[in-house]
Structure 1
Amino acid sequence: MGSVISYLIDAAPPKTSYSVDQIPDLTGKVVIVTGANTGIGKETAKALLAHGAKVYIAARNQASSEEAIRQLKQETGNEAIFLTLDLANLKTIKASAEEFLSKETQLHILINNAGVMASPVELVTADGYDLQFGTNVLGHYYFTKLLLPILTSTAKSTSEGNVRVVNVASCAHLFGGLDFNTFKDGPARKKCSTAGLYNQSKFGNVVLALELAKRYGDQGIISTALNPGNIKSDLQRHVEPQLPSIVKQILANVVLYETSQGALTQLYAATSPEAASLNGKYLVPWARVRSPRQETQDAQLGKALWEWLEEQVKDM
């Protein structure tokens, strides 16, 4: 019952006093936003570019990304940079990180925004992991791990003394948990529903963000997790075809918010001076701190997940 109440509270958030106008000057800051070719990520990149940041759009679809970069330049006057990133393929993740590191010596903000939702259960990653967990959790973990050296060195060299890693989770974590037997393809995973696997991945995002905060907070990493809100975006592309038309109308007109709203909380976490004190915290719409599901805070679970993730990439 508590999870349902928390979901309902966050589904209808109060009006916010925070806006993109409060983002500080980001001139000289280097930022990566995964999945910024569309939806909330694109809106996030737009606000960052408008405030002077050097923004890398890390995404799988080059054509879509290049079109997004063209549109964003028209809207902001500043040009983002495309970085190939397929979070469902560990080898290409390594190549993406290496490409970025060959171009930059600093990274001030990493926004792990990309994700998949409600994909068919039969879909798995290139390495045989559940597509949703493999993309949303393992993929982002590995990308972040490879960038930790540049993140920590940047933190040491900046006047702020910290860098931000923002992990986009969801209110869906309220209904999730971690079953390690379902992270990779196998009989246990095939018995799961696509919604259950999505909830698990978002639960994992919250657990991982807290563990990152614990392990690297003393090196200047400010790691947060957040629920961006119920947003109109193509994240629901696998869900909408299954819904009755009346439900689609209710979602569009009552429940779902615009992508510009969805970007607010992650922009706050990534750029607000106040958010520098939020290491390990969980945010909800719009730019507010709240407690996540209590089970995500279990220290042993966080340690076990981190060690499992480390094991998956140790030979890459």
Structure 2
Amino acid sequence: MGAYLSMLTQQMWPAKSKFKVEDIPDLTGKVMIVTGANTGIGKETAKALLQHNAKVYIAARNQEKSEQAIKDLEQQTGKTALFLKLDLADLHSVKAAAEEFKSKESQLHVLFNNAGVMICPIDQVTAQGYDMQFGTNVLGHFYFTKLLLPTLLETAKTAPEGKVRVITTSSSAHLFFGLDFATFKDGPKRRKIDPGRLYAQSKFGNVVFANELARRYGDQGIISVSLNPGNIKSDLQRYTTGLQRRIINSILYPTPYGALTQLWAGTSAEGLTLNGKYAIPWARVGPARKDTADPELGKELWTWLEEQVKDI
């Protein structure tokens, strides 16, 4: 545990970033999806991508909030993002979103699996009965990525660098709990677990998924990176209360900081060398829990995820 606390401390109070939004290269002709980009870190990420001429899809559940975000971003950048309706807590919505995107685009250069929920009330579950945090943060993003893999792989064949990227947002919370497969779906065992632990489990799952994606598709041009965006003020904290909220708010950085690390991984030349790596604030490679890189655990999780979506 001492090693994990050391890693946590390193990531909570990071050194000044050597990477800036201004360092992003021209992204003309690049098609990108940012899940959860109607608010918070995702919105800041979309803003920077638009400023550098990418074609950006804001994939989110709430159309009204997304349309307002698109208006805000247009005022700030002079560029217009596109809305893609995506509810990660409903696998049928995930499938519909992927099909909608593929009906409009033949290329996808970067998928930012950015959206997430944190410390949800225990009675919240997904449309298919999964724990809300694991179902949204891990299973929903897995299925969305799986459905977009053919487009990603085709894009890699024609991309000048021969690469495309899948950037998956995790958290330093992954340091504290591993995976308990018996709690992924709702049931008595899950309901005995604190929502904070369930959140940490989902963030651990994000890293395991990203690493397994890297192993399976790295030789076909997919760069898969997971990351901790930092302790950032955003809508993620909406379920925190009282002392918990005060403690969390005391260590939070402004929202734009949260976009830096995933923008670095998703747009920089250096990002093309990060397949299977874990990035930490601000814009640097760092350590994740060692067991997130266990290939047997990666295979086990991937097999479980595949089983959940096979009949959707």
- Structure 1 residue aligned with 2:173: 172
Q: 1:307 aligned to 2:303?
A: yes
**Which residue is equivalent to 2:283?**
287
Letter in 2 for 1:298: D
Residue 242 of structure 1 deviates from its aligned partner by: 3.2
> Paired residue for 2:265, among 243, 249, 269?
269
Give me the CA root mean square deviation: 0.9
Query: Could you tell me which amino acid in structure 2 is paired with residue 143 of structure 1?
Result: F
Letter of the aligned partner of 1:263 in structure 2?
Answer: A
Contact 2:18 2:283 in 1 (8 A): no
> What is the TM-score with the length of structure 2 in the denominator?
0.98
Instruction: Give the secondary-structure state (helix, strand or coil) at the position aligned to 1:205.
Output: helix
Question: Deviation digits for residues 136-159 of structure 1, max 9, x if unmatched?
Answer: 000000000000000000000111
Which one-letter code corresponds to 2:217 in the other structure? Y
CA shift for structure 1 position 251? 4.3
Q: 1:68 deviation in Å? A: 0.3
Q: AA paired with 1:294?
A: K
Find the aligned partners of 1:127 and 1:95 in 2 and give their Cα distance. Answer: 15
Structure 2 residue 204 is the aligned partner of structure 1 residue 228:
no
Q: Distance in 1 between matches of 2:148 and 2:18?
A: 33
Structure 1 residue aligned with 2:243: 243
Cα offset, 1:314, TM superposition: 0.6
Q: Distance in 2 between matches of 1:158 and 1:303?
A: 29
Q: Does 1:195 align with 2:191?
A: no
Cα offsets for 1:199-253 (capped at 9, x unmatched):
00000000000000000001100000000000001100001x2337xx62x644x
Q: Deviations over 1:102-132 (max 9, x none)?
A: 0001000000000000001111000000000
Deviations 1:254-279 (A, max 9, x none): 51101111100000000001110110
- Structure 2 counterpart SS, 1:256: coil
Alignment of 1:1-316 (within 5 A): 1-239=2-240, 241-243=241-243, 248=246, 251-252=248-249, 254-316=250-312
* Mapped partners of 2:254, 2:35: distance in 1: 19
List gaps (5 residues or longer) in structure 2. Answer: none
1:16, CA displacement in angstroms?
1.1
User: What letter corresponds to residue 39 of structure 1 in structure 2?
Assistant: G
Q: Is the 8 A contact 2:7 2:287 kept in 1?
A: no
Query: Aligned AA for 2:157?
Result: K
Distance in 2 (CA, whole Å) between partners of 1:225 and 1:308 is: 20
- Partner Cα distance (1:188, 1:54) in 2: 44
Which runs of 5 or more structure 1 residues have no equivalent in the other structure?
A: none
What CA distance in whole angstroms lies between the structure 2 residues aligned with 1:298 and 1:109? Answer: 25
Shift of 1:17: 1.4
1:47-82 Cα distance to aligned partner (Å, 9 max, x none): 000000000000001000000000000000000000
> Cα 1:65–1:291, aligned 2, differ >3 Å: closer, same or farther?
same
Give the deviation of 1:6 after TM superposition: 1.0
Counterpart code for 1:17: K
- Cα separation, 2, equivalents of 1:125 and 1:225: 23
Distance 1:289 1:147 in 2: 26
Equivalent AA in structure 2 for residue 262 of structure 1:
G
2:14 aligns to what SS in structure 1? coil
TM-score, length-scaled by structure 1: 0.97
Does the Cα contact within 8 Å between 2:183 and 2:189 map onto a contact in 1?
yes
Matches of 1:310 and 1:193, distance apart in 2 = 27
Code of the residue aligned with 2:173 in structure 1: it is A
Task: Provide the secondary structure at the position in 1 that maps to 2:118.
Answer: coil
Deviations 1:165-193 (A, max 9, x none): 00000000000100000000111111110
> Quick one: which amino acid aligns to residue 289 of structure 1?
V
Q: Is the 8 A contact 2:30 2:54 kept in 1?
A: yes
Tell me which amino acid in the other structure corresponds to 2:309.
V
State the distance in 1 between where 2:61 and 2:242 align.
26
Question: 1-side partners of 2:291 and 2:163: how far apart?
Answer: 28
